[in-house]
Structure 1
Amino acid sequence: MNRLQHLLAFCEEDPADPFNWYGLALEYQKTDPVKAGETFDLLLRDFPRYIPTYYHAAQHWADAGDETKARSVYEKGISEATAARDAHALRELRSALMRWEEEWE
């Protein structure tokens, strides 16, 4: 069984654990950007308080050239990190958004 198969099995065994889906999204980024985007969308929809998703999902959409979606994901992540009082994630998301905005100018 390869890594992707293991991650798919984990998602099937415990679909309520966002970490399983997060790992799957990151793995899909290496080989299948469409499936990565679908999995990030699933995470953002079903597990909006799972803060690690926002950084990588926003980066995914920025790399895909979807400026509107990338900005929206960064901003939602900043909001969620603020609500969760997750200072580390908040700093990372704000910094990533600033870097990304500088690249788009």
Structure 2
Amino acid sequence: MNSDRISLLEQFIKDEPSNPFNKYALAMEYYESQPYDSLSLLDGLLNDHPDYLPSYFKAAHLLWEHEKWEKANEVFQKGIRLAEEQRDHKALQELKAAYLNFEFDRE
């Protein structure tokens, strides 16, 4: 985690509060070392910017890692539907593969 980068991203968020990428980038800074902060940012993105597809993969993974099975399932499914709607074949493939692993892990 890079504190200079975090400060810069926080400033970007203040300057452009409606830009989802800045919040996503900050969530990725927190992903490993502060997963609950990362998840909070990702959850905010899912609510405030439901069409921002990158949020779904990372949010679902964090939920999965923290054994929040129902919510992870919901986020994976919404992400898959959104990727289909946006015709983003790469994201769709990645989400479906991750979801399959998630289902195997739950069994």
Q: What TM-score, normalized by structure 2, do the two folds share?
A: 0.93
Alignment of 1:48-63 (within 5 A): 48-63=50-65
Quote the Cα distance in structure 2 between the aligned partners of 1:8 and 1:30. 18
Stretches of structure 2 lacking an aligned partner (at least 5 in a row): none
Q: How many residues align?
A: 105
Quote the Cα distance in structure 2 between the aligned partners of 1:39 and 1:13. 17
Three-state SS of the structure 2 residue aligned to 1:37 is helix
Quote the Cα distance in structure 2 between the aligned partners of 1:101 and 1:57. 16
Runs of 4+ with deviation above 4 angstroms:
none
CA root-mean-square deviation: 1.1
Instruction: Tell me how far 1:87 sits from its aligned partner.
Output: 0.9
Q: Percent identity?
A: 37
Counterpart AA for 1:20: N
Quote the Cα distance in structure 2 between the aligned partners of 1:56 and 1:33. 11
The corresponding residue for 1:103 is 105
The corresponding residue for 1:16 is 18
Instruction: Tell me how far 1:32 sits from its aligned partner.
Output: 1.6
Quote the Cα distance in structure 1 between the aligned partners of 2:61 and 2:9. 21
Instruction: Tell me how far 1:30 sits from its aligned partner.
Output: 2.5
Three-state SS of the structure 1 residue aligned to 2:46 is helix
Stretches of structure 1 lacking an aligned partner (at least 5 in a row): none
Quote the Cα distance in structure 1 between the aligned partners of 2:90 and 2:31. 24
